[in-house]
Structure 1
């Protein structure tokens, strides 16, 4: 099966509305705090300045019917926020994750099951087509006029997340002053570690004709080139999962058996070692385009028509160039000789059948060692991503001044997220270390890289050479002071001469371009797209006198939505013929990979000398956070901007073959109804207001998963091809599952005015949340390794299946939980307040990771062996990790939020311009994972403590702010290695941002802004802080902007 890239479909209505409307909000700096609750209760508000933005946020919170925090456009614009997530980090209870230093992901109180809405209704975001967690990388902060964070749901909020809802608000023309309004902004941004100067441009044009007709257009365009240096273990995705690692026993893991590594008189200890180390020069290149707008028409005194469009586009390239020293999955996993004083000892604990068992000896981690490298390489990786989304809204509202009001809405959304990834491994070692040989159909065999460095004898931990074991190159690597340190060999390096003789050279390892060979490459990608339609009716009836002396109005509504998600994962296969003339398709373009049936190599060695003549090679010495490498050489990753085209240029014709584990279709049909009573009464002489309600949700998922066939060949475009190395079988069949459920969800939100300035709130809701579509529709992924020492008849290696994961389970139950909150708010004045809230969460659904053992998973030669790399044994079964759900209660969690906003305008003179905005969140949680010691771990992506502190100043046309964000260690999941399990964490972080602006001429403002002032970096570790897994290093970014208003 092959398929073309999906083309983005422009809906006719989207185009029509876009041409008629379109509008920018963030720079107009206006917000209607009650826009969604009462569509005709519109007040013209122009928010200018930090102080007024604080007042708007306080006003929104004070008048809300539920637990809400808000940010106005001035908040967003006054700090140098590149994305919505950067702005949200200042809200109590919000925690964000970063890529390239920019905020992208968001959770509320440690739970990432958060729904994003646009003007109160569901939106399709290109960054989260297949996930429930918001990803705002593609949305510039100038696209919105305000953000609301709902931590408790009202019954009429039929679209809400398990943990809460983030509502993005856009400005509409009837919010503008009469007449024409225009704003333009230009910005230049420079990173401290990058060489490129980025630009950002935005413009707003709006017209309001006395609230009878209005239209507006917002345009936003910007580029960013973000430093994202990365070092540590090889093979992981730091921030999501750990790098590859091994656990080497003194008994069997070293070049000789029963090696006493630490000299304690026994051989019962185990050593935690990386499979490989890397130091990466990594940059993220983003180009964002945004258009949003609105058109409003007052048809008569009763009816108003509104049309909105919200369009975003993100073109992103991630360029990574990494120097790697690795063990290459060989059976001798004890490849490190630790330095004296560089190890830490722990009890040797394994987990079997849910029980922690302490074994004899100790488990050791190490921070500094001589690593006996089996494969040294430079790795190029280019990931090209194209994300595009359009969301449209057509809305007819009714309000004739009578008791009945209503609104009818139709929304349509489309989104695309396409990506292609190219990886090229270029080796410096010649292949003798791992017996990697190039075996042409005609001609003599050679090492995989005939120009590379040869081998040294292996060393015992005490430094003694083992004769006859020329399998390694000694490279020293250490981790200290938040950095990675390399020492490369530079004398008596063995090489093979052109005439076949051997000799030695004195040169720093990796410094000679002529020693490199582009040995192996891989091309993969995913095409994802989704569309959505929503029809919704909301009505409200206000009673002439309170019903039962309590209820002032009643809200009733109905909603139907349909969402379709299609994901097509693919593998780029090169088309070749074997020695017999049989056509085959292969994933791995590797000089040692054998053609099917005949076994000869089908990729010739490619020297860097040759590629340098073509202008493809680049020398790099810039590895921030790393020392000791000097200049090493890479294929220029920008040459692979179009990964598919580059692979076809280098290797010939390719086909994009469907990867059954990542191919599925999902349809989500949901019908909702709600009934809500809004109340105003008195209790004990105190004013009580709020709402009581029920919402009913009926959801049906139709999930079609793909299953890989079992044949040794596949048919592509009517032609039959043998399956070459790494290529998956074509989709054999499809399985369709229907998963339906319905729930009745109560919601209670009450506010009591203790005094005119003090409010006590209580909220109780039952919430529901779905799963990532991958968790419902994904298939089976199998990991294979060459370390099993099984060879083909021609001597080539067999890749043995050793583990895997069953990504999707279409029968998963929905996530359900109870949420309760009690909060106290003291409004000191219009621009100052104190709040203290306590929250409680009770999970009603348990989602568990489980492991099954399958006896039907074959190695890449078709034989079932079940290789266990820890023991070196063949068990006949392969462990597969999967997920299951049950309707059992989890442990209840609770937490506290504290907020303080204080304008110091009561102080004299200069000091009256200052203000403080601070908050603190304590959000403990309990998940289902256990760590190394069997202790229960918190929820994924949760930090127990978070604080924000901002000091601001506004006076005489000057506005300034410095803001600090602290986040305690964040739990990211378990790292499993055989019977061992380690908790994977990110260390605590501190981010400081600052800005200053001056209106030097009326309506003309210049601003200087700095993000990540201290160049904080992100460090990840497994179980113990000293056991560093990886680090990311991001840059300080400085921007200078000019804004002009009319």
Structure 2
């Protein structure tokens, strides 16, 4: 699909290159980790669960810094369904889930985590602009091991503030000589989706006399994941909350000065959502992964490595949601409370909490007066591809070793969204009409829809002449959402259940939009190590010096767009409209340009779906929706229903960021004796120089834009496209020391200390993004020609190119006791201090115009014009805080091989993390909040068994409430949390022979769901329901 002329895209070009590279690499070179690793003090041959845990334990034991590891039970077989699911078993790791699958990862509550591949930076298509690790697009069978680095050495030139996750792939010269081959086939079925999802993977490798080798790993899987949601409208449960207002007894109900709470006064305030929804939602994923490697031992000193790592994810998120809302009216008090909880009424003035008169109430159950009831259909189509390659030459001499690497990466993520709002009501309660020139009335927007009844006071008194509404009961209790729709009286005196008649529905409004994101990475790096042999006292403690330099350039380009349907008004002027809405006016002539579209008509085309499955709710019968499946190609569907669209650029989401990083390091490695105890460690300094070359977009001025050689008026919902561009160059440098010490108290006990200083870059959206403004028509303004005005109410300034890097100082002290071959106990304390912090601020701007160019500053809650619009923005400020409170990590692992008989096959792995870190954010009461994505406590426990070819494991992951974000709503602050969760997974496998293994795995066995709330657990904002998934598999070795 061609985008408007003043917006370019290289997506198609990238796909051609990436596919070509994948095919060529599969035939020749592939994925191979670095040859010049640190020496391995102990070699363990991995077999089964026990062997995997032993190898992971030994990697931790002999690491030069604080780290944890996961080693695959076999080639391409991590112990969980996804990479993120495996990572959550490590102390300090916390994950988020989507569709029940682990996707994003943080370390000790900090999402600033860098992902590397075999020790060097990689690009993942799931996190092109972001910092956080996102493993949704990487098949777990492509990874043989994972290292989590919680402290850095000076030589770790690529790292995050919280740590680094290094994915590792299998090397051909590490295989047994000759051929190695295996294949695996799996079938997975979810308890709610009911479909069987296939997965196949294959690995082949050849090692010729430890001189020449190659590997090829291919993975393909499909999944259909239940992801039901309910709660407030406008939010994304588990990420951020829905639209909300404050409703005062004095001003915001159907009449002013109403004693809603019944306490004899009118000074109380209610927390009010704009709407409530219940959604049948599924996520469909199709993953492909290829990694291949070539390794050649040129001489005894020289080794050549070539590797590639390719992933592709096609994903469709599809939802059908029934919603009841107050349609952005000034009557934010659109309910009669049935169950409510009262609190002190606390607002914030100049950052300080202030106690006000009256009570503040949240609702658990109410009878709502819905101005609109609609059936919303949503499809998000994602295409994500990433290609990472490494060409590496290693030299190992007697004293000197050198590694030269060229790393190249490309990634593309194309996201296209289609939203259709179908009215079940007729639209009369909000004054929406289908009209001709001059707004001549033709019909209501949904002439077949239900009409409402007159609004009433909380005591039931009807208020004549106010507005009409549909009474809807909505309550939250017992982990579910409960609905009660009325039976509707028809003109012939009969009744029908609300929403039960397909012919009552109309596709009233739709929206098409998307984002194309691309990234390129090139790295040249030289690392060296020189072994020292000094006989001078004190200096003889220095065993080697490591040094290196790195130059990297990363380019991120983002191109957001809106789909504008091409129409002409009554004057014959061509215009583009984002909102395909029956009630919306054509520019200048103000007639409707979208005729009512009945479900009867769409049903004849096979586009309507009946749904009665709203898991997590009660009271909802069969309802009807535009089928999201027919919108899997959103652009094609909108062209079919509405006609030709032009994809027009959104200036707030069009930018290019070029990040150039030059770095160098020097590191001394030490080994000495202190009172008969061996001290091993390293200390060094890395220097990092960073330059950002940022090109931002400025919106075009005026109401006319040219696309593909034709002038168009910018109609309803259209954002002004790119006019001028603004280039900014920001440059800074940092010197970062690192110290890691390990004191061997005896052969089995290690005491570690680390002190490191780290920096990290930003999400490129926060550097290059522009201004996005929210506008609504509820201000009831019109132009001189009668055209409806959309008034600016709020907005977000996404990008600030002058942001300085985030900086942290990290310190850790830990103790490790290796009391048997498979037994370990460890405990550690960690602290950190932020030196620069990124904070959200609210700017009250007086230069944000409404759709007609006039600055008004409409306040929805008060219905007044303030002249200013609140805009959310990000700035850097120096951190004034001291070291954080001390966090604690504890771990225990033991195989019970000392027990007799069957009991010798059992073992246990357990860990606990306490992360009390605080951010500078404060909640409703002014109390400090944790970092985003942080739970204060998390624990894991796994009981496993391995004996006589049988392997089994059951694991529990438990975490306390997780802080997601802070919502500023006027003078009020509300912390948004996810309630505590407990997930239980299990697996069992049996080796039928040396060549064949059968397996069965279950995830989320208890069908745990996520409950999200604002400030108080009873103030439910949204709930997410995933399914139990069972996987049956067979693996064959050859």
Matched, 1:460 2:457: yes
Matched, 1:6 2:5: no
Paired with 1:148 and 1:748, the residues of 2 have a C-alpha distance of 19
> Residue in 2 aligned with 1:1038?
1030
Matched, 1:511 2:507: no
> Residue in 1 aligned with 2:426?
430
Paired with 1:470 and 1:294, the residues of 2 have a C-alpha distance of 69
Change beyond 3 A, Cα 1:551–1:332: same
- Tell whether the 8 Å contact from 1:22 to 1:218 is kept in structure 2 after alignment: no
> Residue in 2 aligned with 1:134?
133
Paired with 2:1025 and 2:148, the residues of 1 have a C-alpha distance of 30
- Tell whether the 8 Å contact from 2:697 to 2:722 is kept in structure 1 after alignment: yes
Change beyond 3 A, Cα 1:66–1:902: same
> Residue in 2 aligned with 1:637?
628
- Tell whether the 8 Å contact from 2:588 to 2:787 is kept in structure 1 after alignment: no
Partner SS for 1:74: coil
1:992 equivalent among 966, 975, 984: 984
Matched, 1:589 2:594: no
Matched, 1:807 2:805: no
- Tell whether the 8 Å contact from 1:36 to 1:120 is kept in structure 2 after alignment: no
Q: Report the Cα offset of residue 391 of structure 1.
A: 0.3
Q: Report the Cα offset of residue 373 of structure 1.
A: 0.4
- Tell whether the 8 Å contact from 1:410 to 1:535 is kept in structure 2 after alignment: yes
> Residue in 1 aligned with 2:28?
20
Q: Deviations over 1:915-966 (max 9, x none)?
A: 0000000011111211111111111100000000000000010000000001
- Tell whether the 8 Å contact from 1:129 to 1:528 is kept in structure 2 after alignment: yes
Partner SS for 1:710: coil
> Residue in 2 aligned with 1:29?
none
The 5 A counterparts of 1:370-409 are: 370-400=367-397, 402-409=398-405
Paired with 2:498 and 2:75, the residues of 1 have a C-alpha distance of 49
Q: Report the Cα offset of residue 386 of structure 1.
A: 0.4
The 5 A counterparts of 1:900-979 are: 900-979=892-971
Matched, 1:761 2:761: no
Q: Deviations over 1:835-883 (max 9, x none)?
A: 0000010111022111111111111222211001121110111111111
The 5 A counterparts of 1:621-770 are: 621-770=612-761
Change beyond 3 A, Cα 1:264–1:44: closer
Q: Report the Cα offset of residue 16 of structure 1.
A: 3.9
2:342 equivalent among 336, 340, 345: 345
**Structure 1 gap segments, 5+ residues each:** 26-31, 494-501
Partner SS for 1:107: strand
> Residue in 1 aligned with 2:410?
414
> Residue in 2 aligned with 1:496?
none
> Residue in 2 aligned with 1:471?
468
The 5 A counterparts of 1:758-837 are: 758-792=749-783, 797-837=788-828
> Residue in 2 aligned with 1:239?
238
1:520 equivalent among 490, 499, 509: 509
Q: Report the Cα offset of residue 43 of structure 1.
A: 9.4
- Tell whether the 8 Å contact from 1:5 to 1:527 is kept in structure 2 after alignment: no
- Tell whether the 8 Å contact from 1:430 to 1:452 is kept in structure 2 after alignment: yes
Q: Deviations over 1:310-357 (max 9, x none)?
A: 000000000000000011001111101111xx1000111111221222
Partner SS for 1:53: helix
- Tell whether the 8 Å contact from 1:42 to 1:175 is kept in structure 2 after alignment: no
TM-score by length of structure 1 reads 0.96
> Residue in 2 aligned with 1:980?
972
Q: Deviations over 1:233-281 (max 9, x none)?
A: 0001222211011211101101111000011111000111110000000
- Tell whether the 8 Å contact from 1:45 to 1:175 is kept in structure 2 after alignment: no
Change beyond 3 A, Cα 1:791–1:187: same
Change beyond 3 A, Cα 1:209–1:286: same
**Structure 2 gap segments, 5+ residues each:** 1-5
Partner SS for 2:405: strand
Change beyond 3 A, Cα 1:648–1:546: farther
Change beyond 3 A, Cα 1:45–1:762: closer
Paired with 1:796 and 1:368, the residues of 2 have a C-alpha distance of 39
Paired with 1:945 and 1:453, the residues of 2 have a C-alpha distance of 50
Q: Report the Cα offset of residue 1006 of structure 1.
A: 0.3
Q: Report the Cα offset of residue 707 of structure 1.
A: 1.0
Q: Report the Cα offset of residue 19 of structure 1.
A: 2.1
> How many aligned residue pairs are there?
1026
The 5 A counterparts of 1:879-898 are: 879-893=870-884, 894-898=886-890
1:1028 equivalent among 1006, 1009, 1020: 1020
Q: Deviations over 1:683-711 (max 9, x none)?
A: 12211001011000011010111011221
The 5 A counterparts of 1:101-180 are: 101-180=100-179
> Residue in 2 aligned with 1:216?
215
Change beyond 3 A, Cα 1:91–1:546: farther
- Tell whether the 8 Å contact from 1:114 to 1:161 is kept in structure 2 after alignment: yes
> Residue in 2 aligned with 1:499?
none
Paired with 1:491 and 1:53, the residues of 2 have a C-alpha distance of 63
Q: Report the Cα offset of residue 470 of structure 1.
A: 4.2
Change beyond 3 A, Cα 1:13–1:384: closer
Matched, 1:61 2:60: yes
> Residue in 1 aligned with 2:527?
538
- Tell whether the 8 Å contact from 2:915 to 2:935 is kept in structure 1 after alignment: yes
Paired with 2:42 and 2:284, the residues of 1 have a C-alpha distance of 41
Paired with 2:825 and 2:493, the residues of 1 have a C-alpha distance of 73
TM-score by length of structure 2 reads 0.97
> Residue in 2 aligned with 1:99?
98
Q: Report the Cα offset of residue 795 of structure 1.
A: 5.8
> Residue in 1 aligned with 2:3?
none
